[in-house]
Amino acid sequence: MEKRPGGAGSMADDSKPLNFIQQTINSDLEAGVVDKVVTRFPPEPNGYLHIGHAKSICLNFGLAQQYGGDCHLRFDDTNPEKEEDEYVQAIIEDVQWLGFQWSGDIRYASDYFGQLYEWAQYLIREGKAYVCELNAEQMREYRGTLTEPGKNSPFRDRPVEESLILLESMKNGDVDEGLMTLRAKIDMASPNVSLRDPVMYRVKKVPHHRTGDAWNIYPAYDFAHGQEDAIEGVSHSVCTLEFASNRPLYDWFIENLPVPATPHQYEFGRLNLNYSVTSKRKLKQLVDEGHVDGWNDPRMPTISGLRRRGVPAVAIRNFCDSLAVAKTDGMVDMSQLEHFIRDELNTNAPRAMTVMRPLKVVMTNLPEDHLEQLQAPMHPNLDMGNRTLPFTREIYIDQNDFKEEYSKKLNKKLSPGKRVRLRNGYVIEAIDFVKNDSGEVVQVNASLVPDTLGTDPADGVKPKGVVHWVSAQHCVDCDVYLYDRLFSDPLPDAGDKNFLDAINPDSLQILTGCKTEVGLTDAEAGQPYQFEREGYFCKDSKNSSAERLVFNQTIALRSTWVEA
């Protein structure tokens, strides 16, 4: 697995100022508040991870790396209605693919269900929790508003022993869903709505993907995650800004339970990317309604989608490292992510030639059995070696590289009486062309200009352009999936917009009958290549087979978008 020093926010770069979390950690270490930094990445396994999670992964694992501490991978699997083992496995793969390794075993909230239940009983005995029989609608009515205080539940002062017995009945499955909850007894008049007697347990008679039918009640996230941090000795519990209003509740549970440690929560601004949605609920809707080809559709902002599209893990890490770790949310332009993708691929992606829209060219002055093995570099960095290009009498070029009539505007195209250079090959001159019954050009007859391999023609008539090509006899058929941004609106779900209305109808174009170099027959899925003059592509991990070779466009050579 790839190892990496430093972490999010370019923490290994001493020239950059420390972010507020690093400043806090430094102060805690200097003051002896903590002697070891322990962070955690706590995804709920109710969907696939997206680019926003990548920032959190890089931050939490990066902090642990920087300070020589530990980062735990812990699944907060407290809601069996929405969680699946498929999501667990996908998240594990994503974290590892990004280049990180957690400390110790993978951890789960469900590992602590027994301890959490005992602490719930403890709070009841301390007079700080009670079983409530208000239904959901009544509970909303009693909670109050942002400007008006709530009012106490009529069950708030029920006897301790009665609440203990009812909680046990809830656990044993003797209480139907929706009839009872366990609530913390805090302050119904608190200006912070999170402290108005929050629910700690609900009855859910749903099998859990790890514990099966062992439990009929499940802890609320707000009750579970702070105590999980305490059990694991997490020193700095870093989460996104939407949890800031929940921090007083996080602290209340820590202060009122006999936990083995006292972790603290810190919030940073989440990553919002334009031309995208990062709500797991909305991403799931795209999948469930068939708008995309699954969670790993290359148009999705999921980590698995980016991987299938051929985006290198290091490009995602470099992108996340470039982002501010601040106490405010912000919107990041898609072009910033695309910059890091292009930068990495330009530096490291091997080159190849693929003709998307093949047009046959016949060199009439070569024998029919002509076969010559030309050498071409794998990359401008010559240390990456060479590849072999079979050159034959018949080749394919792209239809867009031939024009029936010459014009000064299109003087780099092949046209009758004009010359172009074949990339890494000879200069050719078009003679004439053949059309089919529909009036389409289906063949160009040309002449190879002798002695022009690596040098200009002896007659001094230089070619104006360079075109890519493949041998007609020695090439491989393939399909190419051209991807664009999934949404045409930079803010597809802002305000009261229906994000589905912003789906870009041209986000996928499938080209069949393309021709590529024979060397790509055994390309590894996900291995990026630069198709010269076309963009960056990789073999698709899902649709490719022994009978059908499919390449996904990772990104164009340059952006064609005009940003809003």
Other CB atoms within a 10 A radius of the CB of residue 89 amount to: 11
End-to-end CA distance of the chain: 39
* Catalytic (active site) residue 280: yes
Choose, from 280, 317, 342, 351, the residue flagged as catalytic: 280
270 flagged as catalytic: yes
- 3-class SS at 530? strand
Report d(CA 457, CA 472) in Å as an integer.
25
> In whole angstroms, what is the distance from residue 116 CA to residue 43 CA?
19
Catalytic residue among 4, 40, 44, 299: 44
Q: Partners of 460 in the beta sheet?
A: none
Rounded distance, CA 131 to CA 141, Å? 18
Catalytic residue among 270, 282, 464, 542: 270
Instruction: Based on the residue annotation, tell me whether 44 is a catalytic residue of this protein.
Output: yes
3-class SS of residue 2: coil
Say which DSSP state 84 is in. Answer: -
10 Å CB burial of residue 493 (0-12, 13-18, 19+) is: middle
Q: Edge-to-edge, what's the strand order for the sheet holding 550-555? A: 351-352, 528-531, 535-539, 550-555, 475-483, 508-517, 354-355
Q: Which amino acid is at 414?
A: L
Provide φ and ψ at 166, rounded to 5°: -65, -40
Of 292, 339, 308, 305, nearest in space to 499 by CA: 292
CA angle 388, 392, 397 (to 5 degrees): 85
Q: Is 356 left (phi over 0), alpha (psi -120 to 50) or beta?
A: alpha
Catalytic residues: 44, 270, 280
